[in-house]
Amino acid sequence: MMQRVWFITGASSGFGRALAEAVLRRGDGAVLAARRIAALESVAAPYPQSALSVGLDVTDAEAREAAVEAALDRFGRIDVLANIAGRGSLGAVEEFSPQQLREQMDVNFFAAAELTRLVLPAMRAQSGGHILQLTSIGGLLAIGGFGPYCASKFALEGWSEALRDEVKPFGVRVTIVEPGAFRTEFAGPVNMRPERRLDAYRPLIEPLEAYLYGGDGQQPGDPAKAAEVMIATVESDDPPLRLLLGADAIGAWERKHAEFVAELERWRSAGEATAYAGAQVRSVGG
């Protein structure tokens, strides 16, 4: 008997494929969703009873609804939603067109948010579930050259943290997965290039291009090992809200956090002095 039913987007490659292969090997059921449905068949073929492949462009509202309906028709429930599908970008913020900025948000934020909203009624009805939101270390900190990408991931981080509070009473858990550099297709042709190149930003962007594109295939992170950690998170009695993957991601966050604390202390007194005299200060949110 299947222990869990997973709904995994971006299941044709990278983290999504590694996660799909891992859960199916364990005997769980899995809905494998991706635009390239042919690439899903090799993953699903050995598991005719427990795997369902669905073609899905995550930005297509009708396709999202059809995929969730197909999942529930086949398995009757969705225990884990893994929003893995996404797209990277590299370039200065001035170099991207307004349409490209919207496309970045559509894929990385709105698609995941809307698919989550479609699955939540079933999870609430079954009094349980787990939502994995794949963001990035770029969802916790941003550096020049990755502005649109980080903005989309920051948005999903904030939305998911609020979601955690809202769905906890229904037995639904939320974990934000924040990887560093892994050997996926992130740096491949699907990575969004800006519509124009401005010479003023070349000194900043060119070293980043060399790092991202020149190091493709040499990243330290193993998606298969990341998949096992994600599964362990779902099985945990006390799963984290945030799951950092990779020593590079952990180190980057530790440096960022230390900088934040130091800056906070330098400006603490100025910030605290902005209240009306005698006003009662309560915690944010009441």
Under 8 Å between Cβ of 41 and 20 = no
Under 8 Å between Cβ of 43 and 20 = yes
Active site residue 47: no
Under 8 Å between Cβ of 195 and 100 = yes
For the chain, the first-to-last Cα distance in angstroms comes to: 45
Catalytic residue among 47, 149, 201, 276: 149
Q: Count CA atoms within 13 Å of residue 129 on its CB side.
A: 26
Task: Report the alpha-carbon angle 107-221-149, nearest 5.
Answer: 25
Under 8 Å between Cβ of 11 and 42 = no
Give the pairing type, strands 80-83 and 51-55. Answer: unpaired
Residues with a catalytic annotation lie at 149
